[in-house]
Structure 1
């Protein structure tokens, strides 16, 4: 008998085959980005929510995968390789409840993605959308961020301001009073922030392109 878990696991494997997160797969298929998120797989009253046949068909078309191959993915008991970390889109990361005061993932809207192990239980991943971070990062790239990893000059970092703005930059200089950030895109202006305006800063330790 086909189970709820098997179908969702197959969609996760389909996304991995395409080098995408579940939300990236949904977006490529022309669906709402949250369609395949883990938070959508169980209803608020605890009932199992199955993906619609239409959404599965669109995902297969978007990845050029046949129904026969998808059936094989359903039967693949291997599951995902490697540990998973919380994942959210870069645009959604600016939501007020996406992080706690320490810069650790919290609240709703998070998915999961299998990435290499890092010695940080609070590590998380951001999925890049748009072209504002070219040529370093491109749409669809997934960056792993480690709040506990020490930051040095020249490191690429994610910064959240106290106004809720999320910045992906290079750490140019950091003092007790200011944080100087160099833009990854030559067309974008560099930024200098007062230390008191920075909610948190975390180092980018890995990227899947």
Structure 2
């Protein structure tokens, strides 16, 4: 039996991601997992989410695909200097994603120094940008490569129905979808903010 897993809209919720991963069995070499984007903002641990997905893809390179979403595209465009600071910050509420790339003390020191030197907000955000680029090169290279040419592994085609099903899930839900390719049965699990989960026993049918 082959099981295909799909997950999206993690939005910086690292703890919920780790809970979701307990339902994913990649020790079975036939199983596959695809991550469909929007890993950043809203939650406090965007950087940790990206590092975990990178680790997972490198551990199971033939079974896992991590695809960039809208939040990752905005983030990388900002890091490239092609997006105004304010456009990125309008998406990154309370700087949750930006802060996640810093140790708290480092972030506060950089912010306080900028205030003491009476620099502008744009100057401060430029320093944030440079710090992230300088301190997370391997992670960012991995992410940049995904936007340049999204990989299309040979096993991607069987994901199409699972993907179309998942895209119908409420955007702010963190949902894990299991698609059994042998029985063509779908089931879904929603990971709640308190770490509990709700399993949707009645499978849904994806739109044609």
TM-score (norm 2): 0.28
Higher relative helix content: 2
Higher relative strand content: 1
Q: Which has the higher contact order (CA 8 A, sep 6+)?
A: 2
